[in-house]
Structure 1
C-alpha cells in the first residue's frame, strides 16, 4: 500500500519532520502489518449459536519459540533459547524468580548455603531425586557439574562466575562442601547458574550434552533436532515442586514472525513467544487469543570494534550513541513496547542497576562536536552488522539516516546471530546491532556485567578489556555488605557508560501470545513458556 505525501521520508528526516507515517514509509512496513481475522480453530460456537467455552487439551501442548537452540548443554550454551528448554529438563540448585523482586529459592538444595566459616559452606540436597534414566541424584553429580564449569577446557561462558570457588567436595551422598578463595555475599546467586548434570550419563554418552540430555526436571526429552524442534514428555518420577499438567510438549523453532502468528491463529500452536509488537493491538482484539507485553531484562545493544578506526576512539563511539533517535525506534521497531536505555548499563529490573551520569539523549549537535574533537569531520564509512530479527532490521534505515546526518555512512550487513558472532570474532565489522538477555540466567548486575564485559563476549568480539572494571566487579563479588557491593557496581556501570564498548540501546518488553483456553497462563519476562500456573 503506497503512502501518499509530497515530502519524501528522507526529506522529512532531514528537516526534522519525523512522523510515524514518514518512518513507516522509510522502513518499508507501511503495508506489511499482518491482517488477522477470525479466531483460533479450537474456539468454536455450539449449535445454539452461543460461543462455547474454550476446551483445553491437557494431553499435548504445542508452542513456538523465535530463536534456535544448537544443543542442550547448560554448562556451555550462552543461548536463552537453550535455557527455555533446559528449564523444563534439568533442575538448578536454586531458582531466581523471573518476576520482581526476583527472589531466590532452593530447588535441588534444601536450604541456602550454610556457613561453616566465612570461606566454607555446606549445602544439603533434596533426597529421593532421580534422573530420567532412573539413577539417583547424589552430591557427586553436583561436584561433577561445578568442576565441569570451572574447568577452562570446557570453555564455559560461566567460568568467570565461579572463580571465587577454590574447591567443591561431596561430604556425603546428600551434602556438598564449598571452599571459597574469599568471602562473598553472592554465593547462592552464583549457584543459581548450576543446572545439575548426571556424571554417569554425561560420561557414558556424549549425546547427553547435546540433544539427549538426562536431567531431573519435570520433562524428559523424547526427540530433538538442533535448531528445529524438540518433543518432551512428562517425567513420572519427578520429585520437585513444579506442577505442569501437560503430558507432552512440542516446541518448534519458528524464526519467521508471520509464521508464528499464523500458527497461533490456525491452532497449530497454543503459545508463541516474541509475538511481533506491531501486531499487539490486532491480536488483543481477537476472540480466543490473549497477548501481553512484560517488561524484561532483554536489551538491544550496539557493539563497537574498539581495536580499529574509527571506533578505537571512545569519543566516536559516544558520538554514535548521541546520534541515534531512540524514541523513533521505540515507536517503529517496537510499537511502543520498549524503553530507551538512555543512562542504564543494565535493565532496571536487575538488582544493582543504577542510572549513570552519562545520558545518551538524541543530540545531533553533541554527536557532531565529539566527532570534531576526534578529528573526524565527516566522510566516514562503516560496516554495521544487524541480526536477522525483524525488530532489529526495522531499525537499520533509521540508524543509517541518523548517522548520515553526522557524516557517517553505514553499510548494513544482515545475517543470523551465529554468522554475525563469527564476523565479530574475526574482526570483520565496525559496529554490530544485536540483542542479549543476561537477566535470563541470573538476577543481579554483577553477574550480567561480568558475563558480558569480563567473559568471552566483549573482550573477544569488541576487543575491549579493562582491568579496572574487573577489579570493581571483584570488589562487588567479595563485598561484605550490600552498600559496598552496590557502590562498586555503580562505579563499574559509570565506567562502561563512558567507555561504551557495548551499550544497551533499548530494554525490550517480552511479548507473548497464547490461546485463551490456557487458563492461568503467565507470560514470562524471558525466553520460555509460563506453564506452571495453567489450570490443567
Structure 2
C-alpha cells in the first residue's frame, strides 16, 4: 500500500483495534430502534438466547465493521456473493448461484440467486452488488475491506442478475476472497448510512430488530429469505455479557442456550452440565517489537526474548491447555500449515547467547499488554521467563484503546497482544497481509521499508499471481520462514476457543474456530 493510500486508511486503523486486540469491547451504538414489522419476543420453543462476551465495539456496516460482536451478527444479517462456512471457513455460494466462474485469467462472472430480497422486501440486483464493491474500493470511505481486494480493477453489471469482475492481474484465490464483501442495499445505504450502520438491512436469514450497547441484540427470522440456510428459530436474543462469571452463571442457570469465550478455569465445571468444546483457532497471542527503537532493531534481541519464553508452561498454567505453541505463523490445523524453519522452543541458554552476541547487557523492558482476561493471566508468566534470563521486566496492563494509543504514538518497546484476522478469511495471503503489509509494519512496529519487509511482500505478490497450488504454497512457506526469523511481530501461541452450549436445547450447533457464535442452521431441539 503506497503512502497516500496508507494515510487514507489511517483513520480506519483505530476501528481495527477491536479486532487486533482479540476483538475487545470498546464502545458502540448506544441504542437503536426496530425494523418495521420485525417479529417480537418468542417463547422458549422458538427463541435462541446466547451469552456474548464482547459489547458493540463498532457499528454493523460490513464495509468497516471490525468488532467481534458486529462481525458475528453480520454473518446472520448479510450475504456475500460467496460466504465462508462459519465452522470450516471453506468458501460456499451465498447470494451467487455458484462460486464466481473464470472467463479468462483476469475476468470472472457471478450470477445472483433468483428471487433474493433484502429485509425491506426489495429485490437484490446486480446494481446493488456493483455498489457494494465500489464503496469498498472508494478511498474516501477508508474501508477496512479494501486491503483484501487490491487485485480488483472494476465491477460491472452485465444484466439484472449477472456481475462481471475485472482483475488487475491473475489472482487464483479470487472466488473465495470475494466473501469479504457483503452485499448491501444501495438505496437504503445512500439514504442514511449512519442509520444503516446502527441497524443494518441485508438479505440474510435473520434481520436485526434492535441493538443496545452493553445489553442485547435482537434478531427475527426473515420469512422471505430463499437461500440455502434459512433461519431455524423464529427469534434470537444475543445478551452482551462481558463479565465471565455472569456469562457462566447464565449458562448454568439455563437462561441462555450457548455462550462464547468460556473462562478456562470454569470449563471443566461447566462441562458437567452442558457441552463444552475447545476449537483450535488461528487466533494469535503475539509479541510485537518497536523495531525503530534500540536494541529491538536487532533481530537477535527479538529472537532472544522468544527463546526465553516457557510457552508450554504458559499454556498449561494460565490457559488450562487451551493453546498450541507457535511452530509457524499458521496454526497446526490450517490446511496450508508450513512449519517454520525457526521454531522458538524454550531455550534460556540460547536466549542469553543471542543477547551477548548483540552486545546487550542489563536489558530493561516494559511489556505493554491489554487487559483481556486470559492475556492478563499469561503476562506474569512472560515476565517470569524474561526475568529468569536477566531481563528486568515491568508489566503495563491496560485497556486496549489506551495501549494501542501508545503503540500508534511510538511510545512503547514491546507489546504482548491477541488478534485474529481469520474472521475475514482463512487464506494465507489474507492472513499474512494483515500483519505484514501496509498499516501494521509501517505504523505500529516500524518494520516497513526493511529489506525483509520488501522480500515478504514480494513473495506474497508472486504467490498471489501463481497459477499452480504447489508454487503458491512454496512461496508462502518462504514468507513464513522469513517472518519467523525476523520475529518483528510473531505469535507465541495459537489459542483454542472454548464454547459451551446445551446440546439438549439446541440442534445443529457447532463451536467456531473464530471469535463469536453462529446460529446459522441451528434450531431449538
Structure 1-normalised TM-score?
A: 0.85
Match of 1:225 in 2: 212
Q: Does 1:423 align with 2:406?
A: yes
What is the aligned counterpart of 2:65 among 73, 77, 95? 77
- The 1-side partners of 2:443 and 2:154 are apart by 28
**Which blocks of at least 5 consecutive residues in structure 2 are unaligned?**
1-42
Q: Secondary structure at the match of 2:144?
A: coil
Residue pair 2:222, 2:231 contacting (<8 A) in 1 also: no
- The 1-side partners of 2:76 and 2:361 are apart by 54
1:8-45 Cα deviation digits (max 9, x unpaired): xxxxxxxxxxxxxxxxxxxxxxxxxxxxxxxxxxxxxx
- The 1-side partners of 2:437 and 2:324 are apart by 26
Distance 1:368 1:485, change over 3 A: same
Report 1:199-278 matches (<5 A): 199-226=186-213, 228-278=215-265
Cα deviation for residue 228 of structure 1 reads: 4.5
1:469-525 Cα deviation digits (max 9, x unpaired): 111111111111101111111111111101112111111111111223223322122
- The 2-side partners of 1:368 and 1:301 are apart by 21
- The 2-side partners of 1:228 and 1:467 are apart by 46
Residue pair 1:157, 1:455 contacting (<8 A) in 2 also: no
Cα deviation for residue 161 of structure 1 reads: 2.0
Match of 1:460 in 2: 443
How many residues align structurally?
A: 476
- The 2-side partners of 1:171 and 1:364 are apart by 62
- The 2-side partners of 1:158 and 1:391 are apart by 29
Cα deviation for residue 268 of structure 1 reads: 2.8
Match of 1:506 in 2: 493
Match of 2:360 in 1: 376
What is the aligned counterpart of 2:332 among 348, 357, 365? 348
Match of 1:314 in 2: 299
- The 1-side partners of 2:352 and 2:214 are apart by 43
Q: Secondary structure at the match of 1:443?
A: coil
Match of 1:339 in 2: 324
Q: Secondary structure at the match of 2:180?
A: coil
Cα deviation for residue 97 of structure 1 reads: 2.6
- The 1-side partners of 2:196 and 2:126 are apart by 19
- The 2-side partners of 1:255 and 1:409 are apart by 33
Residue pair 1:58, 1:247 contacting (<8 A) in 2 also: no
Cα deviation for residue 137 of structure 1 reads: 0.9
Match of 2:388 in 1: 405
Match of 2:53 in 1: 66
Distance 1:210 1:226, change over 3 A: farther
What is the aligned counterpart of 2:341 among 333, 357, 369? 357
- The 1-side partners of 2:62 and 2:262 are apart by 26
Cα deviation for residue 235 of structure 1 reads: 1.2
Structure 2-normalised TM-score?
A: 0.87
- The 2-side partners of 1:191 and 1:208 are apart by 25
Q: Does 1:157 align with 2:144?
A: yes
Cα deviation for residue 242 of structure 1 reads: 1.1
Residue pair 1:305, 1:427 contacting (<8 A) in 2 also: yes
Cα deviation for residue 168 of structure 1 reads: 0.9
Match of 1:476 in 2: 463
Distance 1:78 1:313, change over 3 A: farther
Match of 2:18 in 1: none
Report 1:279-298 matches (<5 A): 279-286=266-273, 289-298=274-283
Which deviates further from its counterpart, 163-172 or 427-436? Answer: 427-436
Distance 1:456 1:157, change over 3 A: farther
Residue pair 1:157, 1:451 contacting (<8 A) in 2 also: no
- The 2-side partners of 1:146 and 1:292 are apart by 37
Match of 2:79 in 1: 91
Q: Cα RMSD (Å) of the superposition?
A: 1.8
Match of 2:6 in 1: none
- The 2-side partners of 1:61 and 1:314 are apart by 50
Match of 2:481 in 1: 494
- The 2-side partners of 1:228 and 1:420 are apart by 26
1:188-214 Cα deviation digits (max 9, x unpaired): 121011111111111111224421111
Residue pair 1:139, 1:176 contacting (<8 A) in 2 also: yes
Cα deviation for residue 533 of structure 1 reads: 4.4
Q: Secondary structure at the match of 1:369?
A: helix
- The 1-side partners of 2:198 and 2:124 are apart by 20
Q: Secondary structure at the match of 2:63?
A: coil
Report 1:93-132 matches (<5 A): 93-100=81-88, 102-132=89-119
Residue pair 2:291, 2:446 contacting (<8 A) in 1 also: yes
Distance 1:460 1:228, change over 3 A: farther
Report 1:428-439 matches (<5 A): 428-439=411-422
Match of 2:135 in 1: 148
- The 2-side partners of 1:448 and 1:525 are apart by 14
Match of 2:12 in 1: none
Residue pair 1:71, 1:77 contacting (<8 A) in 2 also: yes
Cα deviation for residue 400 of structure 1 reads: 0.8
Residue pair 2:87, 2:510 contacting (<8 A) in 1 also: no
**Which blocks of at least 5 consecutive residues in structure 1 are unaligned?**
1-55
- The 2-side partners of 1:181 and 1:449 are apart by 21
Cα deviation for residue 367 of structure 1 reads: 0.8
Which deviates further from its counterpart, 356-365 or 78-87? Answer: 78-87
Q: Secondary structure at the match of 2:74?
A: helix
Cα deviation for residue 348 of structure 1 reads: 2.8
Residue pair 2:265, 2:320 contacting (<8 A) in 1 also: yes
Match of 2:427 in 1: 444
**Structure 1 residue ranges (4+ consecutive) displaced by more than 6 angstroms after TM superposition:** none
